Structure 1
Amino acid sequence: MTWLVPLPVIMPLLGAAVTLLLRRRPVLQRAVSVLVLSATLVVAVLLLASTATGAPLTVAVGGWAAPLGIVLVADRLAALMLVVSAAVTLCVLVYSIGQGMADGDDAVPVAVYHPAYLILTAGVTNAFLAGDLFNLYVGFEILLAASYVLITIGATRSRIRTGTTYVVVSLLSSLIFLTAIGLIYAATGTLNLAQLAGRLDALPDGLQLGLQSMLLLAFGIKAAVFPLSAWLPDSYPTAIAPVTAVFAGLLTKVGVYAIIRTQTLLFPDGPAGGVLLVAALLTMTVGILGAVAQSDIKRLLSFTLVSHIGYMLFGIGLASSAGLSGAIFYVVHHIVVQTTLFLAAGLIERRGGTTTLDRLGGLARLTPVLGVLFFVPALNLAGIPPFSGFLGKLGLLQAGVDAGGALAWVLVAGSVVTSLLTLYAIGRVWNLAFWRTPHASMPADGGARAGRALPRLMVGATLALVVLGTGLTVVSGPLFDITSRAATELRERQPYVHAVFAEEVP
């Protein structure tokens, strides 16, 4: 099954080339994009099935064995992330196709959109499979280069302005990451993650802390960890709905994945756990307070995105098997639910002509299906039983209680308060946008776009993600089993190293 490992990277790159050649044939371009991402999802599921019952799968690209060559590694964590990212990117692609067909592709110029979207997907999958730090850096740069194009599609003044901020912040994090890579290579003579697992332990404690801090700083910017998160609420909401959704749901989680991978494999006994717990508490608190203060749905959701990154850091900072398992489960849950809510926000904007709460109202009566598409994932995000959001938070709270200590208990209390404030923020959106009498400026029907019947593909793609998010509750038992095994594998380190070298840490 090792031949499957590079396919999630290769197929989107080849698909991007084909769709670029088909730029004058939009129908074929759409068909190729859907086919490529569907095939990527199938491969990801096969990889998850293989790694769930066996050792990690590795491929030495070009036949150059580790540590000299580029190694792609699919363990339980990477395979699980591949599955959820492939499912989400496929649904968002279908949503964007429906939007383009309904609007005559005015909002989404397919000649640019599809190649960039597939390149973004290739960057994400490459980051998940990367077996060395430099290839991880390459994965980030691939997805960032594509995201620069996607975030400025339409070339409006606001998109160019916020896109510029996004580019500057991304370049800064990449520069820090690249500097850390250079210093790590100078100190150890390698960038292979499996080999670094042994060599970093031999470095002086002060040098280890410095290298760990640089990596955390770079990944913290990408993951929007407070106080490195100020760029996100201004950058994401201005993009077109499909781009905002995939950015919010997926891209920050690539940063979280990088934190999980490096913390467990390279710095398992590092002193940064307490710092991560403090950052988790601040990220939760500041993010949710920002959400409560917002009057625009997309900005409110952007702040909740920042806030719930704190839950993931909570589990990582605990550094226990239960904490890591809860963090991984919550990453999977949040990718699906946050993406769904941003797609629903796009439908709200299409139906009501705006996402400003003061100018909306009565959507539950005017468009009941839209009410369902927002209400279900909103409850899931807030952690209402029995949804996966509740189960993920419960797992993290149990891990915090088991860990004990004053800081862990403060995080437990902060998590509960954040969840309640999330429910308040989401309830406010429901009351103002869906429940109250429609605002006078909101069209009941007609209009260029606002008030028209919602395109079926857009509704269908959003509904598919609602079903997927709800389905996480149904399969929570097997999913927690996978995340628990993945957490154990991460803490042991040896399965990953053996898969790469078939021997002890060199």
Structure 2
Amino acid sequence: MNVLVPLPFVLPLLGAALTMISRRRENWLRVLGPLAVAAVLAAAGGLLAAVAGEGVIAVQVGGWAPPLGITLVADRLSALLLVVSTAVLLAIMLHAVAEGAGGLSRHEPGVFYPAYLTLTAGVCLVFLAGDLFNLFVAFEIMLASSYVLMTLTPTAERVRAGMTYTVVSLMSSILFLTAIGLTYAAAGSVNLADLSGRVADLPAGTRTALGLLFLMVFGIKGAIAPLHLWLPDSYPAALTKVTAVFAALLTKAAIYALIRVETLLFPRQEASWAMLVLAAATMLAGTLGALTHDDIHRVFSFVLVGHIGYMLFGLGLFSVAGLTGAILYLVHHIVVQATLFLVSDLMQGRTGETSLRRLGGLARLSAFIAVLFFVPAMSVSGMPPSSGFIAKLALFQAGLGSGRLIGYAVTGVAVLASLLTLMAMTRIWTLGFWRPRPKEAGEPPAAGSYTRGSTRVMGIVTAVLVVGGLLIAVLAGPLSSWSHRAAADLLDPTAYRNAVLDGGTP
């Protein structure tokens, strides 16, 4: 089963190479792209089954003895997120294939597919990396691909947003590399399993400084307030199918890395005041921002920022219950956030608009799109019995069960943020779907921006993601059990250390 561990990283790179070779044959690209991501999903599913049966699986690439060399590790958390992430990546890829060359200039499909598959490889490596340096490499692979995707079909706004995104990403990468260098200088290793024992022996001041530096690095990458302002200023400018990938996975990869680093390198016995305050600030900054904008992509981007705070809330509690809620929220939000942006693509294709000032009458134009929006909108707002409600309930119970004033306070903020999210979603529903279309907006395109066949397939793919979000709620029992065991493993990483340092297979 150890051969399965590197496959989610290797397969998309092979697919990217094949699509580069075939870049002038768009029909081939539209077959090779989905096939490559489907193969990654199959490998991730096999890895999930292997982890369920065998526990933590570690591979030493090149046969170097740990902690030297490249270590790839799959445990309950990484295997679960691999499956969910690649399933969403496949859905977005199919949506892009159905859309065809929509939004792309003549030669850009030959760029989109290789960049998309390389991004997939980077996301998978983030979840599998067992050492800090290769975690850095994974983010650089992911971010280099995202630079390309961000600036496809360049416009003045898109180039400006791409520059903002590039500068912020490079700054966080420099800080990340600095943090890795300081960690190696202080502890003599970059292997996460090895560091989990060595960092504990460092002076308290050194541990605190390193912990704050890593928090800043992943705070920038994960759009944690007050380091979040780059995200709503850059994501909405990209093509919608690209924004869907970014919103679903880039920030979640950063939160995953933060969870991994904090629990392995900087474990604690009680809640972190700093993280919980940042979590509350992120929830409020994002959800309040969502209420102040008219462009639906900017609204969704601010909602994304606000809900990063929920995941940080679970991590900040540093309890099994809190981490269980954070994992459930990660799974829920990857699916639901991608769904919202794909629905917005359908809305834009049907009306030619993304501004709430000019949208209206969508419920009459397409009841199908109205349903596709309503379900994930209620889920992200935490309405029962959706997956969002289940994930938030787990976090609320963890916060109230912490027995600390800060836990109670942030739980109250989380409830308020849910209400603010519901207000933002209700505003889109009222203005975009329920009210008549404003006269100044003119009549919507007779057939929309896409062909009828493309719209039908895009709607089916989006509907499948909507059903996926509902399945998370239906499977709440086994998913909660898996997440609980993954959270327990994070707080007691003995099995992780043993698998890497004693049982890694070349």
TM range (shorter): over 0.9
TM-score (norm 2): 0.97
Is 1:69 equivalent to 2:69 in the alignment?
yes
Q: Distance in 1 between matches of 2:411 and 2:174?
A: 35
Is 1:92 equivalent to 2:92 in the alignment?
yes
TM-score (norm 1): 0.97
Q: Which residue of structure 2 lines up, in the alignment, with residue 423 of structure 1?
A: 422
1:361–1:435 Cα contact (<8 Å) kept: yes
Q: Distance in 2 between matches of 1:28 and 1:478?
A: 39
Q: Which residue of structure 2 lines up, in the alignment, with residue 497 of structure 1?
A: 497
Q: Which residue of structure 2 lines up, in the alignment, with residue 373 of structure 1?
A: 372
Q: Structure 1 pair 474/494, CA: closer, same or farther in 2 (3 Å)?
A: same
1:452 Cα offset (Å): 7.0
Q: Distance in 2 between matches of 1:104 and 1:336?
A: 23
Task: Deviation per CA, 1:285-344: give whole Å up to 9, x if none.
Answer: 111110011111110010000000000000000000000010010001001000100111
Task: Deviation per CA, 1:33-74: give whole Å up to 9, x if none.
Answer: 111111111111111122124321111111112111101000
CA RMSD, Structure 1 to Structure 2 (Å): 1.7
Q: Distance in 2 between matches of 1:454 and 1:430?
A: 25
Matches within 5 A, 1:176-215: 176-215=175-214
Q: Which residue of structure 1 lines up, in the alignment, with residue 13 of structure 2?
A: 13
Q: Which residue of structure 1 lines up, in the alignment, with residue 288 of structure 2?
A: 289
Is 1:359 equivalent to 2:362 in the alignment?
no
Q: Distance in 1 between matches of 2:286 and 2:229?
A: 10
Matches within 5 A, 1:296-375: 296-375=295-374
Q: Which residue of structure 2 lines up, in the alignment, with residue 482 of structure 1?
A: 482
Q: Structure 1 pair 157/329, CA: closer, same or farther in 2 (3 Å)?
A: same
1:270 Cα offset (Å): 8.0
Task: Deviation per CA, 1:139-179: give whole Å up to 9, x if none.
Answer: 00000000000000001111100000000000000000000
Q: Distance in 2 between matches of 1:454 and 1:43?
A: 29
Q: Secondary structure at the match of 2:105?
A: coil
Moved over 3 A (4+): 103-108, 450-454
2:29–2:113 Cα contact (<8 Å) kept: yes
1:445–1:451 Cα contact (<8 Å) kept: no
Q: Distance in 2 between matches of 1:39 and 1:94?
A: 14
Q: Distance in 2 between matches of 1:298 and 1:199?
A: 44
2:7–2:40 Cα contact (<8 Å) kept: yes
Q: Distance in 1 between matches of 2:342 and 2:336?
A: 10
Matches within 5 A, 1:36-435: 36-101=36-101, 103=102, 105-106=104-105, 109-269=108-268, 273-435=272-434
Q: Secondary structure at the match of 2:236?
A: coil
Q: Distance in 1 between matches of 2:450 and 2:12?
A: 34
Q: Structure 1 pair 399/317, CA: closer, same or farther in 2 (3 Å)?
A: same
Aligned residue pairs, count: 503
Q: Distance in 2 between matches of 1:369 and 1:470?
A: 16
1:254 Cα offset (Å): 0.5
Q: Distance in 2 between matches of 1:29 and 1:450?
A: 20
Q: Distance in 2 between matches of 1:381 and 1:434?
A: 18
1:187 Cα offset (Å): 0.7
One-letter amino acid of the counterpart of residue 162, structure 2: G
Q: Secondary structure at the match of 1:455?
A: helix
Q: Distance in 2 between matches of 1:397 and 1:305?
A: 19
Q: Distance in 1 between matches of 2:388 and 2:48?
A: 22
2:400–2:411 Cα contact (<8 Å) kept: yes
Q: Structure 1 pair 451/74, CA: closer, same or farther in 2 (3 Å)?
A: closer
1:78–1:128 Cα contact (<8 Å) kept: yes
Q: Distance in 2 between matches of 1:370 and 1:448?
A: 13
Q: Distance in 1 between matches of 2:107 and 2:427?
A: 31
Q: Distance in 1 between matches of 2:107 and 2:235?
A: 16
Q: Distance in 1 between matches of 2:20 and 2:287?
A: 41
2:269–2:318 Cα contact (<8 Å) kept: no
1:28 Cα offset (Å): 1.1
1:354 Cα offset (Å): 1.1
Q: Secondary structure at the match of 1:68?
A: coil
Q: Structure 1 pair 425/448, CA: closer, same or farther in 2 (3 Å)?
A: closer
One-letter amino acid of the counterpart of residue 426, structure 1: M
One-letter amino acid of the counterpart of residue 149, structure 2: L
Q: Distance in 2 between matches of 1:380 and 1:128?
A: 25
Q: Which runs of 5+ in 1 are unaligned?
A: none
Q: Which runs of 5+ in 2 are unaligned?
A: none
One-letter amino acid of the counterpart of residue 95, structure 2: Y
1:403 Cα offset (Å): 0.4
Task: Deviation per CA, 1:360-415: give whole Å up to 9, x if none.
Answer: 11101111111111111001110110001000000000001110211111111111
Q: Distance in 1 between matches of 2:435 and 2:103?
A: 33
1:97 Cα offset (Å): 1.1
Matches within 5 A, 1:442-481: 442-446=442-446, 449=449, 455-481=455-481
Q: Distance in 1 between matches of 2:260 and 2:211?
A: 12
Q: Percent identity?
A: 52
One-letter amino acid of the counterpart of residue 365, structure 1: R
Q: Structure 1 pair 344/74, CA: closer, same or farther in 2 (3 Å)?
A: same
